[in-house]
């Protein structure tokens, strides 16, 4: 099995009729994802990409049995789109949108916890279940190879880089998840690691983190206490100066725990195999697997 999504997942896309949403939805469909509907207020009753379009998430859930929402709504409207998805009855929200205010995300996080709805993102590439042919997001489908390595990353670009390296070495992946780089997100590294630990298809994990926050230390604590599967880790931002934002909103050093060195040491202490360069992630996994 994969984690979070598989061939039985029924995806609706909020913003499917837009340029970016339509383009990426086509890529998801080409990969094998079961996209059942789009949602664009005012476009209900039409079709796009041979899928019905609805005015609301609740309509798409009720009529098409959708259980996952993929959001390509602009930042100004994304907060309302997430609330609508949570109220509409989906189990998982994948929000690609960048630029959602941190204050909005604090409210969203509390609301989703009450609704018991999971979210990947925002500001993320989404996820891909490689063997089960479900891609919910923007990770390129052609770089994957089915296998047993799970990938969880804060960086979209480094997700692609790690997957590309693994596939080039003949090392396949089970599920790849880009959790996003904002200060407040939905599911974090630790949450994904828990699912990988329970997943029979996943035999080892690649964890990619970066400076800022303490998510990697939380992941290291879980790995040390509960993880039975080997983990290869890479932390981006080792040369970043303190106090300067580096790409992601969450990638800023605000204390000793937020540094790359602190995160790498925590993961090393937890028994992880550490890659010191983004170009060596695949090779490190290969050596770890023997």
Q: Are residues 145 and 262 in the same domain?
A: yes
Residue 256 has pLDDT above 80, yes or no: no
pLDDT confidence of residue 211: 86
pLDDT in tens, 6-21: 999 999 999 999 999 9
Q: Are residues 19 and 57 in the same domain?
A: yes
Q: Are residues 37 and 65 in the same domain?
A: yes
Element (H, E) at 154: none
Cα–Cα distance, 180 to 202 (Å, whole number) = 21
> How many domains, in total, are found in the chain?
2
Average pLDDT score, the chain = 93
Residue 142 has pLDDT above 50, yes or no: yes
Domain boundary among 69, 85, 120: 120
Residue 5 has pLDDT above 60, yes or no: yes
Q: 267 phi and psi, to 5 degrees?
A: -70, -40
Tell me if 96 is assigned to some domain.
yes
Give the helix ranges, DSSP H, for the chain: 19-31, 57-64, 75-88, 102-115, 156-168, 189-198, 215-226, 260-269, 281-289
Confidence band of 250 (pLDDT split at 50, 70, 90) = very low
166: domain CATH number is 3.40.50.261
Q: Are residues 180 and 232 in the same domain?
A: yes
Nearest to 182 by CA among 216, 155, 159: 155
Q: Are residues 67 and 209 in the same domain?
A: no
Tell me if 259 is assigned to some domain.
yes
Q: Are residues 197 and 253 in the same domain?
A: yes
pLDDT confidence of residue 242: 56
Tell me if 6 is assigned to some domain.
no
Cα–Cα distance, 251 to 211 (Å, whole number) = 5
What tokens were used for 137?
């997001």
- Judged by DSSP in three states, 286 sits in helix
pLDDT in tens, 201-238: 999 999 999 988 889 999 999 999 999 999 999 998 76
92-114 burial code (b ≥16 CB/10 A, e <16): bbbbbbbebeeebbeebeeebee
What tokens were used for 257?
């725990």
Contact 39, 13 (CB under 8 A): yes
Count CB atoms within 10 A of the CB of residue 41. 13
The whole domain housing 74 covers 11-120
pLDDT confidence of residue 2: 83
**Burial class of residue 78 (count of CB atoms within 10 Å of its CB; 0-12, 13-18, 19+):** buried
User: Of all residues in the chain, what percent carry a pLDDT higher than 70?
Assistant: 93
Contact 134, 70 (CB under 8 A): no
Cα–Cα distance, 14 to 21 (Å, whole number) = 8
Contact 181, 249 (CB under 8 A): yes
Tell me if 153 is assigned to some domain.
yes
Tell me if 18 is assigned to some domain.
yes
Q: Are residues 113 and 202 in the same domain?
A: no
Residue 247 has pLDDT above 70, yes or no: no
Tell me if 59 is assigned to some domain.
yes
Contact 112, 136 (CB under 8 A): no
Active site residues: 248
Domain boundary among 64, 91, 120: 120
Tell me if 1 is assigned to some domain.
no
75: domain CATH number is 3.40.50.720
Tell me if 202 is assigned to some domain.
yes
Contact 139, 126 (CB under 8 A): yes
Domain boundary among 66, 89, 120: 120
Query: Of residues 120 and 253, which shows the higher confidence score?
Result: 120
Residue with the two structure tokens 């996080």: 109
Q: Are residues 109 and 172 in the same domain?
A: no
């Amino acid at each position: 099995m994969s984690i979070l999504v598989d061939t039985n997942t029924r995806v609706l896309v909020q913003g499917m009729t837009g340029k970016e949403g339509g383009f990426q939805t086509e890529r998801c469909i080409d990969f094998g994802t079961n996209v059942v509907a789009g949602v664009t207020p005012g476009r209900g009753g039409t079709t796009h990409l041979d899928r019905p379009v609805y005015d609301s998430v609740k309509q798409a859930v009720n009529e098409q049995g959708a259980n996952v929402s993929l959001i390509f709504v602009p930042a100004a409207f994304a907060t309302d789109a997430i609330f609508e998805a949570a109220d509409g009855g989906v189990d998982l929200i994948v929000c690609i949108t960048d630029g959602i205010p941190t204050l909005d995300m604090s409210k969203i996080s509390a609301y989703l916890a009450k609704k018991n709805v999971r979210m990947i993102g925002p500001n993320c590439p989404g996820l891909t279940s490689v063997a089960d042919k479900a891609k919910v997001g923007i990770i390129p489908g052609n770089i994957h190879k089915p296998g047993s390595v799970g990938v969880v990353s804060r960086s979209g670009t480094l997700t692609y880089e790690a997957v590309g390296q693994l596939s080039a070495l003949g090392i396949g992946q089970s599920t790849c998840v880009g959790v996003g780089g904002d200060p407040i997100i939905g599911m974090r590294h630790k949450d994904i690691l828990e699912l990988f630990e329970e997943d029979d298809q996943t035999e080892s994990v690649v964890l990619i983190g970066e400076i800022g926050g303490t998510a990697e230390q939380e992941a290291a604590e879980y790995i040390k206490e509960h993880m039975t599967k080997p983990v290869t880790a890479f932390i981006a931002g080792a040369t970043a100066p303190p106090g300067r934002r580096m790409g992601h909103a969450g990638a800023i050093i605000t204390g000793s725990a937020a540094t790359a060195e602190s995160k790498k040491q925590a993961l090393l202490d937890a028994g992880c195999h550490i890659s010191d360069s983004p170009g060596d992630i695949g090779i490190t996994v290969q050596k770890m697997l023997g």
